[in-house]
Amino acid sequence: MPSFNLAAEAKRNRRIRRKFVVLGEVAAPAMLAGDLYRACYLPVMNLWTEASKRIAAEYARTLSAMTTDAPSDIQGEIDGAAEAFNRLFLTLTPSLRDWTLKVERVIRNRWTRQVYSATSVDLSTRLSAYDVADTLESYIAWNVDLVREVSDQVRQRIASRVFSGLTQRKPAREVANEISEAVGMGRDRAKRIASDQLSKISATLADQRRIEAGIDTWQWIHSGKTHPRKEHLARDGDYYSDNPARVGTRVDGKTILAPPERGDRPGQPPYCGCRSRSVIIWDDEP
């Protein structure tokens, strides 16, 4: 729900000579995805990298001895790594919270600058992280689940390759490579997740700030990725409004459209890097 009417405040602040204004993009820098990966996912991947060496060594010993209890020894190494993750996991939530608050601060500062540049309305003392606290908590919880999911998937892949290797009597070097590959797959997925989470939280926070300001119209900006969703590419530059009364009217020579369904808006689908730009429309000439 809107907390204030930015368009009305802008009109009171200065004489508006335009029918509308498109604000600049509000997105967090890509380096913050690297910060998320290093703070919360890399420690997990380092844990499994070290564990994989011990698991591969135990596999080699087991293969040469093939004693009755040897497979349980390997399972013990895998379970030990999982327990180490559980201990590490307790330290990650504060890091996730710090990262989420940092992204919120960046988005808020960029939004404030864009608003001031376009309207001369200063929001710097009126906005805070408290305004979007529920969103921040939901992203912290989401990433907590994702970190655990990444670790669980690595553990399952390692176990699968190890016990499949024992069944087929695969050479130790071959299984060691497969274990390393399993860890590498987890690392690559974690990096993609970090990038995707940055896009999602940035898009969500920017959208909430727009709605908070009573702005109901926005423009779709395509991500420019090499392999885009065709329908997203086709929407690049189009205008949308959450206000049914605006749908079908025109702005900037284009017809304002009804927005796509929730879940298919900028930054919402998996690995979507699209963004939106807020559009302030003054309904009558000043």
Three-state DSSP class for 284? Answer: coil
Domain assignments of the chain as residue spans, ordered by start: 6-281
Tokens of 266: 């900028």
Three-state DSSP class for 220? Answer: strand
- How far, in Å, CA of 280 to CA of 286, rounded? 14
What's the pLDDT band for 250 if we cut at 50, 70, 90?
very high
Which strand (E) or helix (H) includes residue 85? helix 70-119
Residue 193 and residue 150 in contact, taking contact as beta carbons nearer than 8 Å: yes
Model-wide pTM > 0.85: yes
Residue 184 and residue 49 in contact, taking contact as beta carbons nearer than 8 Å: no
- Residue 70 confidence (pLDDT) above 90: no
How much is the average pLDDT of 20-38?
95
- How far, in Å, CA of 258 to CA of 242, rounded? 7
- Residue 285 confidence (pLDDT) above 60: no
- Residue 215 confidence (pLDDT) above 80: yes
Tokens of 144: 């907590």
Residue 251 and residue 217 in contact, taking contact as beta carbons nearer than 8 Å: yes
Instruction: Tell me what pLDDT residue 224 has.
Output: 87
Helices 133-168 & 42-65 angle (0-180, nearest 10): 10
Q: Give Cα 13 distance to the centre of its chain.
A: 36
